[in-house]
Amino acid sequence: MTLKHPKAHTSRDPDLAVAPHFSLETTTIPRHALPEGEMPPDVAYQIIHDELMLDGNARLNVATFVSTWMEPQAEKLMAECFDKNMIDKDEYPQTAEIETRCVSILANLWNAPDADEATGCSTTGSSEAAMLGGLALKRRWQKQREAESKPADKPNIVMGINVQVCWEKFANYWDVEMRLVPMEGDRFHLSAEEAVELCDENTIGVVAILGSTFDGSYEPVEEICAALDSFESKTGISVPVHVDGASGAFVAPFLDPDLVWDFRLPRVASINASGHKYGLVYPGVGWIVWRDSKALPEDLIFWVNYLGDNMPTFALNFSRPGAQVVGQYYNFLRLGFDGYRKVQGFARDVATSLSTAIGDLGPFELITRGDELPVFAFKLREQIENYTVFDVSSALRERGWQVPAYTFPKNREDLAALRVVVRRGFTHDLADLLVADLQRQLPRLDKQQAPVHDKTAAASFHH
């Protein structure tokens, strides 16, 4: 969420001019305070509608992982549920039942040993889900340390430096030391060897990313678990694994069935995913599933007597609409396994074709191809010195494309790249248009004497 802060830039003009609308005279309203009186709904709509035209075209935004298209029938169902409060399970019992069905579907999809024993819930997104997974890891570690009469004041968590910012928030908010494995050479994510090197008796868990936001690659979850098995046999220290499958948990089951990354690995305690990324739902829903009820400590669950029912809840918020959960269930019913396989397979096909076309243009070198997540990163060849990836990103924005340019983190800050995320609704035709616009801009960029934009131009881009 955007934080209003005195240091942040905001409009300095205190008033907003309102254009004449039908028989109304031109007037102004305050930007940062409530108007004195009412206004007709059409006028209020037009004011906001006109401002929102300055936002980018969501379909041309290949920076975001978030779904930007759903079927009209799904939109209709979701509109019917905007006023349903997910927390009020007594008033809306069927919406609550649909949520539990979705958890069971995911538990089966991710190969939980016993889907009836698997525990989980919906969240506002994969970030909240990741934090809940982290909280469960910390509490389990604390209880184990207390049972052994050992101090529990210095927890740490191990992960690659490519993790999403939600993990930094988790570590900051809940006083857990982040042990980050930096990138090295052509290794852009966590590996088994580096993960184990940072583990000790205070490690609450290792986070493995199924689909890095930097380049779309999968981290080797099975290798990490095997290395931790060896670590336990040598030290007696058992370190669980949480899989951050924000994107990949809705891709790998359908396209990579032989990849072992989920609850088939006994060391995997929990998995989070984003329903509003490759779960194909509009923004506002994530999922967290634990392999069984033992993986979620009972004292983290609140039993709340609210509006007539005593219900279990584990969340960082309370009231929220049921629309996105219903949208998720619609997709599960509408697509089924084969439908998801086709949608994700099409996205991967577009991504690999597009990456190949961009690689063939000449100035660009692929970092990844889009053959894991339908996401790929590419950079400029070393001999290109008169323009940067930030110049390329700026040039494409002139045609409406939002293609992020960014530098990689610690130990590879020298690497600047562009990234393309292919989602549902991004077709081969749109990919061809992107390549054509890129070709159109290259002659102008070639004529530049020196770079115009640098990494400061990417300050607003976050993974």
Owner of token pair 């499958």: 245
Question: 155: Cβ–Cβ under 8 A, 6 or more apart, which residues?
Answer: 138, 141, 142, 175, 176, 177, 202, 203, 204
Q: Which of 17-21, 22-26, 440-444 has the lowest mean pLDDT?
A: 22-26
The topology (CATH level 3) of 75-331 is Aspartate Aminotransferase; domain 2 (3.40.640)
- Per-residue b or e along 185-199, where b marks 16 or more CB atoms closer than 10 Å to that residue's CB: eeebbbbbebbbebb
pLDDT in tens, 327-363: 999 999 999 999 999 999 999 999 999 999 999 999 9
Give me the pLDDT at residue 39, please.
87
Give me the pLDDT at residue 102, please.
97
Tell me whether the CATH fold assigned to 75-331 matches the one assigned to 345-458: no
CB atoms within 10 A of CB 291: 27
pLDDT of 224 higher than 60: yes
Give the C-alpha separation, 145 to 399, whole Å: 57
Which pLDDT band, with edges at 50, 70 and 90, does 188 fall under? very high
For residue 120, what is the enclosing H or E element?
Answer: strand 119-123
Q: Which tokens in the block code for residue 343?
A: 């949608």
Give the C-alpha separation, 300 to 141, whole Å: 13
pLDDT in tens, 109-147: 999 999 888 899 999 999 999 999 999 999 999 999 999
Which pLDDT band, with edges at 50, 70 and 90, does 27 fall under? confident
Which pLDDT band, with edges at 50, 70 and 90, does 220 fall under? very high
pLDDT of 183 higher than 70: yes
Backbone angles phi, psi at 83, to 5 degrees: -95, 5
Give me the pLDDT at residue 87, please.
76
Give me the pLDDT at residue 320, please.
87
Question: What would the mean pLDDT of 298-309 be, rounded to a whole number?
Answer: 77
Give me the pLDDT at residue 308, please.
64
Q: Which tokens in the block code for residue 21?
A: 């609308």
Strand partners, 286: 123, 274
Question: Which DSSP category does 182 fall into?
Answer: P
Backbone angles phi, psi at 148, to 5 degrees: -95, 5
pLDDT of 240 higher than 70: yes
Give me the pLDDT at residue 184, please.
92
Give the C-alpha separation, 375 to 246, whole Å: 13
Question: What would the mean pLDDT of 396-405 be, rounded to a whole number?
Answer: 96
pLDDT in tens, 61-115: 999 999 999 999 999 999 999 998 887 777 788 998 999 999 999 999 999 999 8
Backbone angles phi, psi at 305, to 5 degrees: -90, 100
> What is the distance of C-alpha 333 from the center of its chain?
23
Give me the pLDDT at residue 25, please.
58
Give me the pLDDT at residue 88, please.
74
Question: What would the mean pLDDT of 302-306 be, rounded to a whole number?
Answer: 73
Give the C-alpha separation, 78 to 97, whole Å: 16
Which pLDDT band, with edges at 50, 70 and 90, does 14 fall under? confident
Question: What would the mean pLDDT of 289-306 be, rounded to a whole number?
Answer: 89
Q: Which of 60-64, 175-179, 308-312, 344-348 has the lowest mean pLDDT?
A: 308-312
For residue 78, what is the enclosing H or E element?
Answer: helix 72-79
The topology (CATH level 3) of 345-458 is Aspartate Aminotransferase, domain 1 (3.90.1150)
Percent of all residues in the chain with a pLDDT value above 90, rounded to a whole number? 79
Backbone angles phi, psi at 136, to 5 degrees: -65, -40
pLDDT of 236 higher than 80: yes
pLDDT of 11 higher than 80: no
Domain ranges for the chain, please list them: 1-55, 75-331, 345-458
pLDDT in tens, 248-262: 999 999 999 999 999
**Mean pLDDT for the chain overall:** 92
For residue 377, what is the enclosing H or E element?
Answer: strand 375-380
**Sign of torsion over alpha carbons 358, 360, 365, 371:** positive
Greater pLDDT, 20 or 129: 129
Strand partners, 304: 311
Instruction: Pick the closest to residue 363 from 395, 408, 328, 325 (CA basis).
Output: 395
